[in-house]
Amino acid sequence: MTSLNNENHAALLAMKEIANFVIKAAEVIDVKEIDNLVNMLIEAYNKKSKVLVMGAGRSGLVGKAFAMRLLHMGFNSYVLGETIVPSITKGDLAIAISGSGRTQLIVDAADAAKKVGSKVIALTTYPDSPLGSIADMVVKIPGRSKISKMDDYFARQILGLHEPLAPLGTLFEDTTMIFLDGIVYSLMTKLNISEDEMRSRHANIEF
């Protein structure tokens, strides 16, 4: 049954807040960083290099969704922590997702990938973080990480932030999810990959 007071329902207010944040984030993400990310992925696709996506917690779930779409497009993609993950080597690509850029598991994994000669891309709110300092290239994704406070200038002054409606890392995770879906569309366009082609690689045995 539809609520008679939809506009004031807490769940819908939160949805609108998050959606508005993502729209504002799309206006400030650096297009040069986007192009660099897309070009590095296209290079990996053409060379059939491995793409290892890594993230912890909810950021890891966002990474899994992106890795799945890469697989649908024909990329040689894997997710850190899964049972079947080959060794990553020189010329491969590691995409590390961490709002704070300080998640130790992801920082250590990115460092290990860098040491064997893989290129590392960091998706984080803090380019000057330990993860950002390791990465070959950083995409700054606006958001509030688990360790952020309301006095974060970028989130408060430029994008606006109402803490109770989006707890912990919600804004970073949701923004990153939609950003990566946008990257998928860009790759489909540049690589001339159709939805039918992606569907042919989609799992046909599902639970």
- The catalytically annotated residue of 43, 163, 173, 197 is 173
C-alpha distances out from residue 57 to 76, 152, 173, Å: 23, 22, 10
82 is catalytic: no
Question: Can you tell me which residue has the tokens 């080959």?
Answer: 86
DSSP β-bridge partners for residue 93: 51, 119
Question: Can you tell me which residue has the tokens 């002054």?
Answer: 157
C-alpha distances out from residue 33 to 16, 66, 123, 138, 157, Å: 27, 18, 10, 7, 22
**Closest alpha carbon to 97 in 109, 88, 87:** 109
3-state SS, residue 103: coil
Question: What's the chain's Rg over C-alpha atoms?
Answer: 18
The backbone torsions φ and ψ at residue 93, rounded to the nearest 5 degrees and listed phi first, read: -130, 130
Let me know: does 102 contact 131? Beta carbons within 8 Å: yes
Catalytic site residues? 173
